[in-house]
């Protein structure tokens, strides 16, 4: 169980670092029995400060939150409230869905690649290939649509791809521009 606290273009003092580590241990211990690993980044943002945090729970869930404030401490405190809300929601939804530790034999590994975008979209050569920014392998979990929506809410991502627990096919849930959640199930269109 560890939380790395770092500053981007600033130095984070020992008092704020200690406060964040102790607070996270208390909040995560209150809502979640397992371990966690996370990273908190504080950075100047315009005339204020920004706090970005990603927490990986041993259950396989990833929680993400960001906040802005007039100083680093207030930005951290607002972000900590957001993480606590997400943990509380996660704990409430898990009460009827207790499962293993995040991975199962039904999960499959997929390649995840982040490509760089070009600023000059009109003037691209025919043989242009965007630069690869990052490559990793992720687990494509088997879950219900409800669990996928919960992961979408908790992670703060725009899209979650998963294997449907009912038929094993690939499905996608995504956050629409109007704030609602969309669900794509190719198996429903084949019937």
Are 66 and 150 part of one and the same domain?
Answer: no
Question: What pLDDT is recorded for position 173?
Answer: 93
Are 84 and 140 within one domain?
Answer: no
Q: What is the dihedral of CA 1, 59, 66, 13, to 10 degrees?
A: 0
Q: Which of 71, 94, 117 is the last residue of a domain?
A: 94
Question: What SS3 class is residue 125?
Answer: coil
23/49 same-domain check: yes
Residue 74 belongs to a domain: yes
* Count: domains in the chain: 2
Q: How far apart are CA 10 and CA 76, in angstroms?
A: 14
Mean pLDDT is lowest, of 80-84, 114-118, 178-182, for 114-118
Other Cβ atoms less than 10 A from the Cβ of 184: the count is 13
Cα separation, 72 vs 43, in Å, equals 8
90 & 156 share domain: no
State the pTM of this model.
Answer: 0.56
Per-residue pLDDT tens digits for 9-62: 888 889 988 888 888 888 888 877 778 888 999 999 888 999 999 888 887 778
pLDDT, average across residues 138-146: 84
Identify the CA nearest to 93 among candidates 145, 55, 147: 147
């Amino acid at each position: 169980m560890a939380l790395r606290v770092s500053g981007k273009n600033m130095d984070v003092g020992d008092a704020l670092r200690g406060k964040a580590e102790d607070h996270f241990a208390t909040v995560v211990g209150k809502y979640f029995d397992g371990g966690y690993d996370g990273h908190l980044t504080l950075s100047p943002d315009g005339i204020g400060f920004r706090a970005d945090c990603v927490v990986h729970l041993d259950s396989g869930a990833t929680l993400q939150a960001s906040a802005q404030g007039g100083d680093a401490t207030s930005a951290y405190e607002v972000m900590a409230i957001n993480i606590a809300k997400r943990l509380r929601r996660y704990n409430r939804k898990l009460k009827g869905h207790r499962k293993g530790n995040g991975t199962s034999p039904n999960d499959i590994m997929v390649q995840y690649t982040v490509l760089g975008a070009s600023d000059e979209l009109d003037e691209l050569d025919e043989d242009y290939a965007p630069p690869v920014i990052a490559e990793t392998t992720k687990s494509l979990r088997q879950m219900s649509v409800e669990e996928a929506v919960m992961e979408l809410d908790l992670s703060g991502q725009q899209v979650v791809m998963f294997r449907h627990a009912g038929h094993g096919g690939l499905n996608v849930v995504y956050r629409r521009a109007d704030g609602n959640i969309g669900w794509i199930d190719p198996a429903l269109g084949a019937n």
